[in-house]
A and B are shown apart, each in its own frame.
Chain A
Amino acid sequence: MQKTLLEMRSITKTFPGVKALDDVNLSVREGEIHAICGENGAGKSTLMKVLSGVYPVGQYDGEIHYDGALAEFHDITESEAKGVIIIHQELALVPLLSIAENLFLGNETQKNGVINWPETFRRTEGLLKKVGLSDAPTTLVDKLGVGKQQLVEIAKALAKEVRLLILDEPTAALSEADSQALLDLMLELKQQGVTQIIISHKLNEVRRVADTVTVIRDGQTVSSFGTKDGITEDRIVRDMVGRSMENRYPERTRNIGDLLMEVEGWTVHHPEHADRRIIHGVDFNVRAGEVVGIAGLMGAGRTELAMSIFGQSWGQGISGQVQMRGQDVDTSTVGRAISAGLAYVTEDRKSLGLVLDEEIRRNVTLTNLPKVANGPVLNHNEETRVAEGYRRSLNIRTPSVFQKVVNLSGGNQQKVVLAKWLFAEPEVLILDEPTRGIDVGAKFEIYGLINDLAAAGKGVVMISSEMPELLGMCDRIYVMNEGAFVGELAAADASQERIMSLIVTEE
């Protein structure tokens, strides 16, 4: 039995009006990988912020014992000095600095304020080798993909002589292959004796790497168990949502109608480099009542395809034809695309989907303000009524529609984005990673909503990096790779293996 490295006892943290953590206990043994699971808003991130000193001692109740002593961190530098390092979901790298500069930011190899560059590069190369990166230390971080950036973050933690590494949703933005590489690295670090805490929604990943799982729900510890004890994913899900979830994808009676949207020969060039073709003559279509998936790896061009169709919001030198119900339509501006009956629900709700500092009500109506106005004058009552309607029908959990969106959890924010696009009354909705970063319960609700839309005769195009989700939800799946469609599969014929093999054989 290894010794206990970290023990958090009876942690309680209150925000004005809300008890975020209520008597939470967490015990992490030295050298293990410990997973923390829970719905969004359950308190996982708050717990980690208490641990790392973001919320200093005195702002919470309870005790933290670390490495056999009572730990009282006043800020993040104190916890880092003890080897507790947290990698947040939003990466904290400076894009226009090199890898080497990022790795030692705030921790520079220096003498009297003068940086020792040869030593910095030497150490950088060593660290990059450890995380399996072969890029030059002088490469600017913004030249790297998200997957590599995540690895740089880990290298940065290693530079600080980490003992307890906390990874908050490390694979949320990564492709399947990058995720696997990251998980492999975690297991390797474990061999080297680095204790790790991983927060993740992806239960297959949890099962793969974790030795112990602690489930948190509504700010309380629900259960804690070893993964070797024959624990199933269903059990974890049950603990997370407080109820059993037999079927993760709700049933839908399929009723597929006429051809709704058809895209032909869609070609797009890079917004900065006019000669670089990113999308190569893509054809696809959606029928009324149909859910069509677009599978592919990160960087396959799926978001670029969707955004270029939706008002030419990405790229330049765009050619191709969009037809709605057999008629050519103009989608060259967002306004025209909306009038043509299109809606695009972004994968990046915080920076592209919502005005975070505004009320829910004001976000919902943004796509179709004239509908809640008499001529140029807004009707605030009507606006409130509309927003209330969506709050109820989409089950957005909030005291009122006058709440600012920034105060909502990820799942509820996603519902606001969906509400906003439903209000535009589209015929075809392109949903880009509609369940990214949201918890199991909210995912289920969003799947239900997608089914309702299809049942109402809308066409749904669903872009997702989670293959089980596409397999569970779609009638038909297109497979995209390097800017072109490399295959089309009916739901009955599709499997993860077939999708992957289509992607791989193309290369």
Chain B
Amino acid sequence: MSVADQTQSSERQNTGIGAYLSAHLREYGLLFALIAIMAFFQIVTGGTLLRPINLTNLLLQNSYIIIMALGMLVVIVSGNIDLSVGSVMGFVGALAAVMIVNWDQSLAVTALVCIATGAVIGAAQGYWIAYWKIPSFIVTLAGMLVFRGLSLWLLGGESVGPFPREFQSIASGFVSDILPGGAAMADLFGLRNFNMLSFVVGLIAAFLVVWSGLRKRAQNRKYGIEDEPKMFFVARIGIVALALVFVFYKLSTFRGLPNVMITMGILTVIYAFITEQTVLGRRVYALGGNTKAAKLSGIKTERLTFLAFVNMGVLAAIAGLVFAARLNSATPKAGFALELDVIAAVFIGGASMSGGVGKIVGAVVGAFLMGVLNNGMGIMGVGIDYQQMIKGLVLLAAVIFDVYNKQKG
């Protein structure tokens, strides 16, 4: 049959390396853009970018953005947007400060109340969006103003702080080295200190990346899925694994693993798993891809939309705790305009404004890309004026690249 022949031959043509690259340009592009930008700043900052202390800083600076980007990805994939996250984060930080400093509440109670507050805020916004079909842009724009106002009110217009050490350690603490051999390694490499735990975690992470990559590849082959050329696979997995080992090694020569990195890492893995491997995650993609079709397939679209916003509220609350702990005080301005950085990270990471498309890993890499830009330009002493312009153009370029790719494909 001629139709079958035709599809066969088109399949064959598509397996060329060039064709594969052009079909997956976006995924590789993001990774290479991150590497290129890091290399660029490493050179122009005379090696400052990748110094252990700066790497640690980079992670701490971007932790709350990444935490919120996880929730924002879900919201955007569901076909919505949340403009209120910066304000919500600020408000929860303020609430934490008032509870701890003014009301003498324990850390556990504070954290619990704050996270519950985040959930309630998310539910309050999600309710109108999901069940009343009010556009999320409008509801969360209102929320942005309301919660900005609420933090001002709660703090009485002043900064509240400082926090006890225990609370600060959420953001600026480090996991103590529970593994032996650190001192020996330090001697071996001629370093002042060496955190064995951090290094081992890095090795495990790299191993997991290689293992899961190989496993997926084996499965793809089994089902005859269009395969990534071997060269690309080895290069991609190799670069990611080496980068992980490198970063963790660098961290281990400073103070080891920041607490917040553990939080961030665990959350990222959980959300990547939920979005890619679970029924729930799949339904969110269907909801964003075509709400009507999803609803007619028996998916409870309203409830899912609602949950996406509850989830966003919880993550914004966690980010609020981290942010306040890092600054060691809550200020009325905390989180101002931060929603834009979060949204930018998700779009740079390849999510689509119309919903249904986007990956957790993309959002995280997008957030790091913005973070490296901020950090690198900061070290170089580039003025805030130029920083804003450059970040804006990077966002635009990433989205243009997406659209161009889609049209070409």
Cβ–Cβ < 8 Å partners of B4 in chain A: 397
| Cβ distance A84 to chain B, nearest Cβ, rounded Å | 25
B204 beta carbon closer than 8 Å to chain A: no
Instruction: Tell me if A344 is interfacial: C-beta within 8 Å of chain B.
Output: yes
B10, B223, B290: the one contacting A355 at CB < 8 Å is: B290
A41 to B292 CA separation, bound complex (whole angstroms): 26
Q: How far is the CA of A53 from the CA of B290 in the complex (A)?
A: 31
Flag B1-18 by CB within 8 Å of A: 1 or 0 each.
Answer: 011101111110110000
Tell whether, in the assembled complex, residue A397 and residue B3 are in contact, meaning their CB atoms are under 8 Å apart: yes
Is the beta-carbon distance between A358 and B286 smaller than 8 angstroms?
Answer: yes
Could you tell me how many residues of chain B have their Cβ less than 8 Å away from some Cβ of chain A? 39
Residues 46-87 of chain B: 1 if any A CB is under 8 Å from the residue's CB, otherwise 0?
Answer: 000000000000000000000000000000000000000000
The reply to whether A367 and B289 form a contact with Cβ atoms under 8 Å apart is: no
Is B201 on the interface with A (CB-CB < 8 A)?
no
Q: Within A339-363, which residues are at the interface with B (CB < 8 Å)?
A: 344, 346, 351-358, 362
A214-246: CB near B (< 8 Å → 1, else 0) gives 000010000000000000000000000010000
Which among B4, B277, B282, B356 has the greatest number of chain A C-beta atoms within 10 A? B282
Smallest Cβ-Cβ distance to A349: which chain B residue? B293
List the A residue with the shortest CB-CB distance to B354.
A357
- Consensus secondary structure, chain B interface: helix
Interface residues of A in 133-159 (CB under 8 A from B): none
Docked Cα-Cα span, A320 to B298, in Å, equals 21
Contact between B298 and A335, CB atoms less than 8 A apart = yes
Q: A373-B279, A397-B7 are in contact. Are A367 and B356 (CB under 8 A)?
A: no
Instruction: Determine which of A351, A357, A398 lies in contact with B356 in the assembled complex, contact meaning CB atoms within 8 Å.
Output: A357
**In the docked arrangement, what's the CA distance between A19 and B3, Å?**
11
Distance in angstroms between the alpha carbons of A356 and B279 in the assembled complex: 19
Q: Does B357 lie at the interface of the complex (its beta carbon under 8 Å from any beta carbon of A)?
A: yes
- B299 CB within 8 Å of chain A: yes
Interface residue A279 (Cβ < 8 Å from any Cβ of B): no
Nearest-CB distance from A390 to chain B (Å)? 15
Q: Whose C-beta in chain A lies nearest to the C-beta of B276?
A: A378
A357-B356, A357-B357 known; A218 and B226 CB under 8 Å? no
Closest partner residue, chain B, to A372 (CB atom)? B279
Most B-side CB within 10 Å, residue of A311, A366, A370, A400: A366
With A338-B298, A397-B4, A402-B225 in contact, do A369 and B13 touch (Cβ < 8 Å)? no
A338 to B296 alpha-carbon distance, docked (Å): 10
* Cβ B283 vs Cβ A369 within 8 A: yes
A145 to chain B, nearest CB (A): 21
Inter-chain contact A399/B292, CB cutoff 8 Å: no
CA gap between A36 and B224 in the complex, in Å: 38
The answer to whether A492 has its CB under 8 Å from any CB of chain B is no
What's the Cα separation between A489 and B14 when bound, in Å? 53
Tell me, yes or no, whether B294 is within 8 Å of chain A by CB. yes
Q: Does A18 contact B (CB under 8 A)?
A: yes
Within 8 A of A (CB), among B3-37: 3-4, 6-11, 13-14, 19
Partner of B6, one of A18, A242, A354: A18
What total of chain A residues lie within 8 Å of the partner, measured CB to CB?
45
Q: Indicate whether A4 reaches chain B with its CB closer than 8 angstroms.
A: no
Residue of A nearest to B5 (CB): A218
> Is B280 at the interface (CB under 8 A from chain A)?
yes
Q: A381: which of B11, B219, B356 is its contact (CB, 8 Å)?
A: B219
Q: Decide yes or no: A377 and B286 within 8 Å by CB, A18-B6, A352-B292, A400-B226 being known contacts.
A: no
Q: Which of B209-225 contact A (CB under 8 A)?
A: 219, 222-225
Residue contact B279 to A378, C-beta cutoff 8 Å: yes
Contact with B along A244-275 (1 / 0, CB 8 A): 00000000000000000000000000000000
Q: Which of B285-306 contact A (CB under 8 A)?
A: 285-286, 289-290, 292-300
Q: With the chains together, A313 CA to B297 CA distance in Å?
A: 11
| Given known contacts A17-B14, A377-B277, A353 and B219 CB-to-CB distance under 8 angstroms | no
Query: Can you offer 16 A-B residue contacts whose CB atoms are under 8 A?
Result: A16-B13, A17-B19, A41-B3, A313-B296, A334-B297, A354-B293, A355-B294, A356-B289, A358-B285, A358-B286, A362-B282, A367-B298, A378-B277, A399-B7, A399-B11, A400-B226
**Interface of A toward B, CB cutoff 8 Å:** 16-19, 41, 218, 242, 310-311, 313, 333-335, 337-338, 344, 346, 351-358, 362, 366-367, 369-370, 373, 376-378, 380-381, 384, 388, 397-400, 402, 420, 424
Q: 5 closest pairs, A vs B, by CB? A: A355-B289, A17-B10, A399-B11, A334-B298, A355-B290
